[in-house]
Amino acid sequence: MRLPRIVKILFLLCFLLLTTPILAFEQYITFEDDVEVTASITEDTFSTVDVLPNVVDVKESAIVTVTVKGGVFEALPGHYIELVANGLIFNQPSQPSNSQGQVTVSVYANTPGAYNICANDITYPDLVINIIDCTTLYVTPVTSPSLISEPMYTPGNSNTLFWNSVGSNYQYYIEVSLYNNFNTIKQSSGWLAGTMFEFSNLANGSMYFYRVKARNSYGGESDWSGVEFSVQDSESPTIELISVSGLGENNTVEWESGYGVEFVYKVEDNLSLDSTDFFCVKRDSSKYSCGDTTKNGSIYTTVLRLSELEKDGIAHLFLEYEFCVEAVDTVSNEAQLCGIQLLIPEWSEPGEPVEPDEPKPPPPIVTFIDKVVDDVVDTTEFILEGLFGDLNEYELENINTTTTIVTLLVGLGTLLGGLLYIPIYLFELLLSFLSWLGLRKKGKLSGYVYDSDSKEPIPQAVVRTYNLEGKLIWTDVTDNRGFFNLALRDGVYKLEASSNKYSFPSKVIFGKADYPLENVYHGEEFTIKNGIVPEFSIPMDSIDLNWFRMLLITVNSRTRVLFKVLSVILFLFGLIFSVYTYHINSNIFNFLIIVLYIPSFLLVTKALFKKGLEYGVVKNEEGEVLSDVAVGLRDVEYKRIVAKRITDGKGRYRFIVDMGVYNIEVLDTEYEVVSIEKKDVKHLSDGSVLIALDVLVKRIVVEK
């Protein structure tokens, strides 16, 4: 039963397989017709973009090859190509692809980087076909050369520089400047093929900076090399004999072998000394080293024992000896000073002592003072009679009073430095007087006002205190040391400082510290609690001078001496006129006018002979004053810097501090102290002391 069923099934399957293709064919034939397909192709996956070489220097050319293909192996000639390569410099191809389907373009770049290169097929109007394949061109910078290290000092007035080669077909450009930022170029080589160049006409004692760069054959330039520097030294050291000590009682026959003759001489070099030697010269002109030499700065002292001298025979000395000093600097410039002589007294028999001549009596002094005084008095009275003899008593008193007042004001103005300062001094005097009467509270020392540039205290600066409502609460004037006092209750306040030549708040000093000063105040609000008033350091900036103020200062400086002379003339004229007025009309008023000339005399005398507080000066070893040098004052007991000053354009500084033990230090790390002037400090009338000592420093040279 099963076998026939299986046969039937197989037969049915064969029938279906044979009839299905026929049915399908007939169906296809039934619907067969022409079909037109329209499509826009915007991407090309067969064409390629290549670049050779793919790594080049700046401005070195590379060749980009675009191969247009219709399939994997089908080249398409006659196609126009547009190159897309941002950052590269090239000309777009104007010719279509050749028979191999290729278009070539030369490209380069002015700056290093990785540049992506693609292409478009623009053969068909209004249709841009993007070629999918792209490539990358790597542009490397031109290698910078390196200068061979320079010595610290170079002899002569020229310098030859060497550097390494970065490859063939390269040129080099080297330049020299007096500044490490090369903002001004002294000399340059121009482009040259070698790896060395000599600069000439370089100034002695000047530090020169050098740098070099390379250029490839395509014109691409490297960055500048690292900077090398060297100091030119074309001068030999200088030697100057200062003194030769005496021989005492030694002579050619009788002499002490251990007796030392001291030779003092000065040896200097414009840059740096290497060695200094002292020689004795023999009779045959040969030299030998002798004596013990010590050095103090540029001063050398050689102590020569008589036993070291060449002998005349066995035990006698020659009448004359010669010595030489030789010095060599660090670049082997040599100098010598010969012909230094030592004369030995010749031995002789002791003789009779010579008695000195008796002194002659001084000539008599002829005096005629009385006659001169009488002549001056008579002449003065005659002149005054001629000028004012016709005036009545009332007019004489008016002139006398006016002259006295003008003399007092001019004397006071001369003493204070100008009439404009009188109101400030009077205001300060008023505050002190009110405090003395008990009408004004006595404040506590609460701050210090100083110049933000020089760190000098600012005297006669007015410090005002306001509350939050802007109401004036307290006013004080700084003393000669820049200190001011505050007397405030608990609350929130602000300070304002004002001075004739300064502005507040400072735009130079930032933050809360200006070493060694702390709690720097810039005008912000502050709070007082439990009666504790903070101590402030208030910097003020010097005001830039406009033309009018500069004119006033110039006129003031030019007329200062004339002003003093005028005050003396006014004083003398007023005094003589007052005496003349009292002589004409002897009354108590005219007598009081004469008495007023006593303070006038004191004011004029003090103003005439007044000397400002002296300054200390910071100089280098060449005697040049140094400006903008930070000088600190260290308290020996507490071992901390308590004050700092910045030297002005004349190298000056000074400290006014309380009594104590201090050391002066130069805070700039580029200098070291050679010596500090030895003298006593000056005690001022307010109990403080003035410290103003001259300081000699030298620049610290860092050896390479």
Same domain, 276 and 216: no
Assess whether 217 and 333 both reside in one domain: no
Taking the C-alpha atoms of residue 363 and residue 520, their distance in angstroms, rounded to an integer, is 70
In a shared domain, residues 586 and 620:
no
Same-domain check for residues 592 and 625: no
Residue 107 pLDDT > 90: yes
Residues 599 and 622 grouped into a single domain: no
Distance CA 403, CA 673 (A): 55
Residue 255: closest CA among 212, 308, 216: 308
- Please say whether the dihedral angle defined by the alpha carbons of residues 621, 627, 630 and 631, taken in this order, is positive or negative: positive
Confidence of residue 170 (pLDDT cuts 50, 70, 90): very high
Q: What is the pLDDT of residues 532-578, one digit of tens each?
A: 777 888 888 887 655 665 565 555 555 555 666 766 776 666 667 66
Q: How far apart, in whole angstroms, are the C-alpha atoms of residue 697 and residue 671?
A: 6
Kindly state whether residues 542 and 470 are assigned to the same domain: yes
Q: Among all chains, which residue has been given the structure tokens 């580029």? A: 670
Q: How confident is the model at residue 25 (pLDDT cuts 50, 70, 90)?
A: very low
My answer on whether 475 and 580 are in the same domain is yes
Over residues 346-362, mean pLDDT: 59
Tens-place pLDDT, residues 475-491: 888 887 788 888 788 88
Counting the structural domains of the chain, the total is 5
pLDDT of residue 209: 96
Instruction: Determine what percent of the chain is predicted with pLDDT higher than 70.
Output: 71
- The maximal CA–CA distance of the chain, rounded, in angstroms, is 186
Look up the domain containing 78 and give its range: 43-140
pLDDT > 80? residue 72: no
- In 440-579, DSSP assigns E strands to 444-451, 462-467, 472-477, 483-486, 491-498, 502-503, 513-514, 517-518, 526-528, 536-542
Give the residue from 89, 111, 140 where a domain finishes.
140
- Per-residue confidence band for 620, with pLDDT thresholds at 50, 70 and 90: confident
Residue 128 and residue 41: Cα distance in Å, rounded?
9
Nearest Cα to Cα of residue 209 among 165, 177, 181: 177
pLDDT of residue 23: 44
**Mean pLDDT over the full length of the chain:** 79
Please give the pLDDT value at position 116.
Answer: 94
CATH number at residue 528: 2.60.40.10
Rounded Cα–Cα distance for residues 246 and 255 (Å): 13
Dihedral Cα 395, 396, 401, 402, nearest 10 deg: 70
Comparing 159 with 16, which gets the higher pLDDT?
159
Between 584 and 94, name the one with better pLDDT. Answer: 94
CA distance 656 to 689: 6
The 3 state secondary structure assigned to 286-306 is CEEECCEEEEECCEEEEEEEH
Is there a single domain that holds both residue 533 and residue 577?
yes
pLDDT at 396 over 60: no
93 Cβ contact partners less than 8 Å away, ≥ 6 residues apart:
80, 81, 83, 103, 104, 105
pLDDT of residue 5 exceeding 80, the answer is no
The distance in angstroms from the start CA to the end CA of the chain is 116
Question: Is it the case that residue 57 has pLDDT exceeding 60?
Answer: yes
Name the β-bridge partners of 324.
Answer: 279
* d(C-alpha 662, C-alpha 634), whole Å: 5
User: Minimum mean pLDDT among 112-126, 365-379, 524-538: which range?
Assistant: 365-379
Q: How many CB atoms lie within 10 A of CB 583?
A: 11
- Please determine, for residue 36, whether its predicted confidence score (pLDDT) is greater than 50: yes
pLDDT value, residue 115: 95
Q: Let me know if residue 118 belongs to a domain.
A: yes
Residue 642: pLDDT band with limits 50, 70, 90? confident
- Is 537 contained in some domain? yes
What percent of the chain lies above the pLDDT cut of 90? 27
Across-strand partners of 277? 326
Neighbours of 477 (CB within 10 A): 20
Which residue, chain included where needed, has tokens 């300081």?
695
The stretch 24-33 carries a mean pLDDT of: 48
Q: Are residues 100 and 49 in the same domain?
A: yes
Domain-ending residue, one of 214, 233, 252? 233
pLDDT of 146 over the 60 cut = yes
Q: Let me know if residue 597 belongs to a domain.
A: yes
Contact criterion met (CB below 8 Å) for 627 and 649 = yes
pLDDT(389) > 60: no
Q: Are residues 620 and 580 in the same domain?
A: no
CA distance 405 to 411: 10
- Contact between residue 538 and residue 495 where contact means Cβ atoms under 8 Å apart: yes
**Residue 634 to residue 49: CA distance in whole angstroms:** 76
- The answer to the question of residue 350 being in a domain is no
227 shares its domain with 243: no
**CATH number of domain containing 665:** 2.60.40
The number of residues in the chain equals 704
> 83, 114, 140: which is the final residue of a domain?
140
pLDDT band, very low/low/confident/very high, at 53 (cuts 50, 70, 90): very high
Residue 211, pLDDT above cutoff 70: yes
Shared domain for 407 and 308, answered yes or no, is no
Whether residue 323 is contained in a domain is answered as yes
Which residues pair with residue 465 across a beta bridge? 474, 495
Q: Supply the pLDDT for residue 42.
A: 83
pLDDT band at 282 (very low <50, low <70, confident <90, very high): very high
Residue 190, domain member (yes or no): yes
In a domain, 348, yes or no: no
In a domain, 395, yes or no: yes
Q: Is the pLDDT of residue 313 over 60?
A: yes
Question: Dihedral of CA 302/306/307/308: which sign?
Answer: positive
Could you check whether the bond before residue 505 is cis, i.e. omega within 30 degrees of 0?
yes
Give the C-alpha separation, 317 to 243, whole Å: 21
Average pLDDT over residues 327-352: 84
Q: How does pLDDT run across 411-460, given as a tens digit for each residue?
A: 555 554 544 445 555 555 555 655 555 555 665 667 888 888 778 888 88
